[in-house]
C-alpha cells in the first residue's frame, strides 16, 4: 500500500505527525510489515525523536541552527534567500526517509518516540511525505 501525507508547517522546526502515520497503518488492515516514509523535498527531513518534553525538540533545533548558520559568506546558492542553502545542508546531514516496523497493526515505536518532519526553511507551507507499507 502506498499513499501521501501533506504536512502543513508553520515554518522552521520539528513538526510531529505520528498520529497520522499510526492512522495510515491502522486503516491499511495490514498486521505486520515495514512502514517506509520519504519526504519529497530537498530542504526538509524526517526524524524519530522524543515527543514528551518540548525542550528536547527546541535544543535540537537550536543546535542544528548553530551548526549550519544562515548568511555564511561561503554559500553561492543564495537566490532563494538566506535560509535556502542552510536548509539543503541540514537535509543532507539528517534523513529524508525512515523505516518503522509494525506488528499487530501498530507502529513499534518506543514509549517517547515520535515521528517528525523537520522543516529547515522559515516559510509556512506544505510538505509531502510518501508512506509505503
The residue with cell 501521501 is 4
What pLDDT does 63 receive?
98
Determine, yes or no, domain membership for 80. yes
What pLDDT does 114 receive?
98
Separation between Cα atoms, residue 31 and residue 42, nearest integer Å: 32
Determine, yes or no, domain membership for 98. yes
- All three cell numbers of 13: 522546526
CATH of the domain at 120: 2.60.120.460
pLDDT more than 70, % of the chain? 100
Determine, yes or no, domain membership for 3. no
**CA 8-13-17 angle, 5° bins:** 45
Q: Residue 126 gets which letter from DSSP?
A: E
Domains contained in the chain, number:
1
User: Which secondary structure element, helix H or strand E, spans residue 92, and what is its range?
Assistant: helix 84-93
Determine, yes or no, domain membership for 60. yes
Give the chain's mean pLDDT: 97
Determine, yes or no, domain membership for 78. yes
Separation between Cα atoms, residue 44 and residue 94, nearest integer Å: 9
> Tens digit of pLDDT for each residue in 68-98?
999 999 999 999 999 999 999 999 999 999 9
50: domain range?
A: 10-132
**pLDDT band at residue 52 using 50, 70 and 90 as cut-offs:** very high
Determine, yes or no, domain membership for 2. no
Determine, yes or no, domain membership for 33. yes
Separation between Cα atoms, residue 121 and residue 88, nearest integer Å: 9
**Per residue, what are the HEC states of 90-119?**
HHHHCECEEEEEEECCEECCCCCEEEEEEE
**pLDDT band at residue 102 using 50, 70 and 90 as cut-offs:** very high
Determine, yes or no, domain membership for 91. yes
pLDDT more than 90, % of the chain? 100
Amino acid at each position: 500500500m502506498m499513499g501521501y501525507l501533506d504536512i502543513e508547517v508553520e515554518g522552521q522546526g520539528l513538526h510531529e505527525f505520528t498520529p497520522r502515520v499510526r492512522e495510515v497503518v491502522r486503516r491499511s488492515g495490514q498486521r505486520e510489515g515495514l512502514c517506509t516514509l520519504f519526504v519529497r523535498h530537498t530542504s526538509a527531513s524526517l526524524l524519530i525523536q522524543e515527543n514528551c518534553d518540548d525542550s528536547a525538540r527546541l535544543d535540537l533545533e537550536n543546535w542544528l541552527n548553530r551548526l549550519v548558520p544562515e548568511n555564511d559568506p561561503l554559500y553561492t546558492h543564495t537566490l532563494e534567500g538566506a535560509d535556502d542553502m542552510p536548509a539543503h545542508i541540514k537535509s543532507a546531514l539528517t534523513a529524508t526517509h525512515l523505516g518503522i516496523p509494525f506488528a499487530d497493526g501498530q507502529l513499534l515505536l518506543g514509549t517517547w518516540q515520535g515521528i517528525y518532519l523537520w522543516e529547515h526553511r522559515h516559510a509556512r507551507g506544505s510538505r509531502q511525505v510518501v508512506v509505503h507499507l
